[in-house]
């Protein structure tokens, strides 16, 4: 049984290479590199099982991230040998052994975090349970929110829409119910194929995600949870992430203080790994898993 690893990345080719080397030849890798990234592609694309794409400029929170994910999914689904698919970032790392992923993981189920919108966990920062993501034009693909000016312009434009009462209709005409959750998932072939076929047949659904803040946190959930595949979906994406300590960012950069919690969990991947601060943890996971 062959599994595909889909990776969206924009920096640190060594960390991507660590993932490839750890999982090895039994996995196929489909990697989208942010078009504005300076990653050295020649260091990554050295194996037949590594497929690299550099199609989109991916600003944080922008529609192009969803498009990059769908590009990878379409490329991965073309290989009939791929029967299970994991979406991760270039700052993830596997927490389980290769043997576990290939022989012990129940690959008849989807692993996807989801909750119905509006959701209490999306009530901060003026999100209104997540509906503000969809009701107002969120120009993250035009402006880079990681820059001071870009972030300021986005905030001004959204606030202006609220003041003058410009609203888009929430797309209940496309999705019976709207769901959100983490971007990252592990899906069966049938489920991923369904998302791609839905996209082909309902082009307005994808276009409606344009100018939606972090649309990739809504799109897959809203398609699958409104389908027959909902009953086969576990509400857990099996990712270890620290949203509490804030070490180096949000989510936090992981270090050796996370080791026991990671090993005691049922998670398949963890993030975020820093190229220096997380190196000891990464080596410990590799040593432990190789021995097992």
Q: What is the pLDDT of residues 53-69, one digit of tens each?
A: 999 999 999 999 999 99
Q: How confident is the model at residue 80 (pLDDT cuts 50, 70, 90)?
A: very high
| pLDDT over 60 at 96, yes or no | yes
For position 292, what pLDDT does the model report? Answer: 58
Higher pLDDT, 43 or 291: 43
| pLDDT over 80 at 119, yes or no | yes
| pLDDT over 80 at 30, yes or no | yes
| pLDDT over 90 at 46, yes or no | no
For position 247, what pLDDT does the model report? Answer: 86
For position 173, what pLDDT does the model report? Answer: 85
CA 161 to each of CA 127, 136, 275: distance values in angstroms, whole numbers, following the listed order: 14, 7, 40
Domain spans, the chain: 2-107+238-291
| pLDDT over 70 at 29, yes or no | yes
For position 291, what pLDDT does the model report? Answer: 55
| pLDDT over 90 at 115, yes or no | yes
| pLDDT over 60 at 182, yes or no | yes
CA 2 to each of CA 5, 50, 255: distance values in angstroms, whole numbers, following the listed order: 10, 14, 31
Mean pLDDT value across the chain: 93
Upstream peptide bond of 218 is cis (omega within 30 degrees of 0): no
Instruction: Please state the rounded mean pLDDT for residues 46-57.
Output: 90
Instruction: Please state the rounded mean pLDDT for residues 225-239.
Output: 97
| pLDDT over 70 at 13, yes or no | yes
The strand order across the sheet containing 239-241 reads 92-94, 269-271, 239-241
Instruction: Please state the rounded mean pLDDT for residues 251-265.
Output: 93
Cβ(225)–Cβ(233) below 8 Å? yes
Instruction: Please state the rounded mean pLDDT for residues 152-174.
Output: 92
Cβ(130)–Cβ(180) below 8 Å? yes
**Total residue count of the chain as it appears in this document:** 292
Give the single-character DSSP code of 187: E
Spatial separation of the C-alpha atoms in residues 165 and 158, rounded to whole Å? 10
Residue ranges with strand state E in the chain: 2-9, 27-33, 50-53, 82-89, 92-94, 110-111, 115-116, 179-180, 186-188, 233-234, 239-241, 269-271
For position 290, what pLDDT does the model report? Answer: 61
Q: How confident is the model at residue 45 (pLDDT cuts 50, 70, 90)?
A: low
pTM to 2 decimal places: 0.94
- What are φ and ψ of residue 206, in 5° steps? -70, -45
């Amino acid at each position: 049984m062959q599994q595909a690893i889909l990776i969206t990345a924009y920096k640190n080719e060594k960390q991507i290479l660590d993932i490839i080397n750890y999982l090895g030849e039994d996995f196929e890798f489909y990697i989208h590199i942010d078009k504005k990234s300076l990653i050295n592609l020649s260091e990554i694309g050295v194996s037949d099982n590594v497929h690299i794409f550099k199609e989109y400029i991916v600003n944080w929170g922008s529609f192009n991230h969803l498009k990059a994910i769908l590009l990878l999914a379409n490329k991965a689904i073309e290989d009939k040998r791929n029967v299970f698919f994991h979406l991760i970032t270039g700052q993830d790392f596997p927490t389980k052994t290769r043997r576990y992923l290939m022989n012990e993981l129940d690959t008849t189920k989807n692993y996807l975090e989801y909750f119905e919108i509006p959701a209490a966990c999306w009530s901060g920062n003026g999100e209104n349970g997540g509906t503000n993501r969809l009701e107002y034009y969120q120009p993250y693909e035009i402006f880079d929110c990681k820059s001071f000016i870009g972030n300021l312009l986005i905030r001004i434009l959204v606030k202006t829409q609220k003041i003058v009462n410009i609203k888009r209709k929430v797309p209940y005409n496309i999705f019976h119910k709207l769901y959100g959750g983490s971007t990252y998932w592990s899906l069966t072939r049938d489920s991923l194929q369904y998302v791609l076929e839905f996209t082909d047949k309902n082009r307005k659904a994808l276009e409606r995600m344009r100018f939606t803040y972090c649309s990739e946190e809504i799109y897959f959930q809203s398609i699958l949870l409104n389908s027959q595949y909902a009953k086969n979906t576990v509400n857990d994406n099996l990712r270890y992430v620290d949203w509490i300590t804030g070490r180096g960012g949000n989510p936090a950069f992981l270090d050796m203080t996370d080791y026991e919690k990671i090993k005691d969990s049922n998670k398949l991947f963890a993030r975020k790994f820093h190229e220096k601060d997380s190196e000891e943890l990464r080596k410990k996971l590799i040593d432990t898993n190789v021995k097992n």
